[in-house]
């Protein structure tokens, strides 16, 4: 992607990471690391989470096996003609906090959004060895360039809240919560 070549200094230092995470990679991520994600991620925000929980309550199978996956909290704008996707930046993660531990129990390896997580989610991430990343909030037009394919997976009737499978190429993010229990927001504001 051409814009990354002209990206500012510190963001040029990001580490290339494949998603879903390869074996052992999560252990090497540190709060504050700038990463660039390439591979496949799944999306979901409020309604997708509610519906996933309903399926679990009914003992039914989820539309995708989330074990090992990275879940991106996003509700994109519709793709204009000729585009793969519209604007597609992260939404605020805390709204998913009440659902997240249950997905981590199923083996979800990471979440991607923006903003702080609850203590309960942080504890659950440590227990299940999962990480939380934030992308660039309010940069949906820029981030859409890193999405090379978007396929609907489930819950089409939820409109912008449907679940998608994204193929991403050098999608920028920052590690917020790592496996040592550190939180980059706490670290950066304490500086």
Partner 1 sequence: MKPLRIINAEEILCAVKELAISAACDLEPDILEGLVVARDRETSPLARDLLELLLLNADIASRERLPLCQDTGVSVVFISLGQEVRIHGDLNEAVQDGIRQGYLDGYLRKSVCDPLTRINTGTNTPAVIHFEMVPGSDLIIRYLPKGCGSENMSRLQMLPPSAGLEGVKDFICRSVFEAGPNPCPPLVVGVGLGGTFEKAALLAKKSLFRSLGENHWRADVAALENELLSRINLNGQGVEGMGGCNTALAVHCEIFPSHIASLPVAVNIQCHSHRHKERVL
Interacting residues toward partner 1 by CB under 8 A? 3, 7-11, 34, 46-47, 50, 74-80, 83, 86-89, 91-92, 94, 114-116, 134, 136-142, 144-145, 158-161, 174, 184-185, 188-191
**How far apart, in whole angstroms, are the C-alpha atoms of residue 58 and residue 37?**
34
Query: First and final CA of the chain: distance in angstroms?
Result: 33
By beta-carbon proximity to partner 1, the closer residue of 12 and 127 is 12
Burial class of residue 44 (count of CB atoms within 10 Å of its CB; 0-12, 13-18, 19+): buried
By beta-carbon proximity to partner 1, the closer residue of 62 and 139 is 139
Contact 97, 117 (CB under 8 A): yes
Least Å from the CB of residue 145 to partner 1 = 7
**How far apart, in whole angstroms, are the C-alpha atoms of residue 24 and residue 27?**
6
By beta-carbon proximity to partner 1, the closer residue of 68 and 185 is 185
Least Å from the CB of residue 22 to partner 1 = 26
Least Å from the CB of residue 27 to partner 1 = 23
By beta-carbon proximity to partner 1, the closer residue of 89 and 110 is 89
Q: Are strands 163-177 and 147-154 parallel, antiparallel or unpaired?
A: antiparallel
Least Å from the CB of residue 147 to partner 1 = 11
**How far apart, in whole angstroms, are the C-alpha atoms of residue 133 and residue 182?**
12
């Amino acid at each position: 992607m051409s814009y990354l070549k002209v990206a500012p200094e510190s963001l040029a230092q990001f580490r290339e990471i494949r998603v879903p995470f390869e074996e052992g990679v999560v252990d090497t991520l540190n709060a504050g690391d700038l990463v660039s994600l390439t591979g496949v991620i799944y999306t979901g925000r409020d309604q997708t989470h509610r519906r996933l929980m309903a399926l679990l309550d009914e003992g039914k199978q989820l539309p995708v096996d989330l074990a090992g996956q990275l879940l991106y909290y996003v509700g994109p704008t519709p793709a204009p003609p000729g585009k793969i996707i519209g604007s597609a930046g992260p939404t605020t993660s805390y709204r998913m906090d009440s659902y997240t531990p249950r997905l981590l129990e199923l083996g979800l390896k990471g979440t991607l959004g923006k903003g702080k997580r609850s203590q309960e989610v942080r504890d659950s991430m440590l227990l299940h060895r999962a990480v939380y990343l934030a992308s660039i909030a309010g940069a949906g037009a820029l981030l859409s360039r890193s999405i090379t394919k978007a396929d609907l997976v489930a819950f089409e009737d939820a409109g912008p809240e449907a679940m998608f499978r994204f193929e991403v190429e050098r999608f920028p993010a920052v590690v917020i919560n790592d496996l040592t229990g550190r939180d980059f927001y706490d670290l950066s504001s304490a500086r």
